[in-house]
Amino acid sequence: METTSAEEIQLRHVELDVLIPKMMREKARERCVEHVQAFSHCCKESGFTMVFKCREENAAMKDCLIKHYQDPDFFQECKKEYIQEKLEYERTGIRRKHRIQKLPTSM
């Protein structure tokens, strides 16, 4: 059986330009959770005036997210994780979210 290392994987255009950036957005939101929550809270409290009242929170959230989106090391980290998930799927035929759902909740 031939094994493929993460460095040898050729990624398709859609993986590089759509799927990995999607993973980056999800992970960036996790890393910027305090800014995202502050903006969400401000929006809920402000109603229709949120455009004016939540400028600071929005700017802080955007700055945090953009910092991650533009970080080449973060891209490489997400790319490596994506490739590992892809290899695991090719090996098992089970997608990551289904593997997570099938884990026992109690031992």
Q: Report the chain's mean pLDDT, rounded to a whole number.
A: 87
Angle in degrees, CA 28, 29, 35, rounded to 5: 115
The residue ranges of every structural domain in the chain are 13-101
Share of the chain above pLDDT 70, in %: 82
Three-state SS for 41-66 is HHHHHHHHHHHHHCHHHHHHHHHHHH
Q: Please indicate, yes or no, whether the overall pTM of this predicted structure exceeds 0.85.
A: no
pLDDT 10s digits, 3-33: 555 556 889 999 999 999 999 999 999 999 9
pLDDT of 2 > 50? The answer is: no
Alpha-helical (H) ranges within the chain are 13-14, 20-31, 33-46, 50-53, 55-69, 72-92, 96-101
Q: pLDDT at position 1, please? A: 42
Q: pLDDT at position 103, please? A: 54
Q: pLDDT at position 48, please? A: 87
Other Cβ atoms less than 10 A from the Cβ of 103: the count is 6
pLDDT 10s digits, 76-87: 999 999 999 999
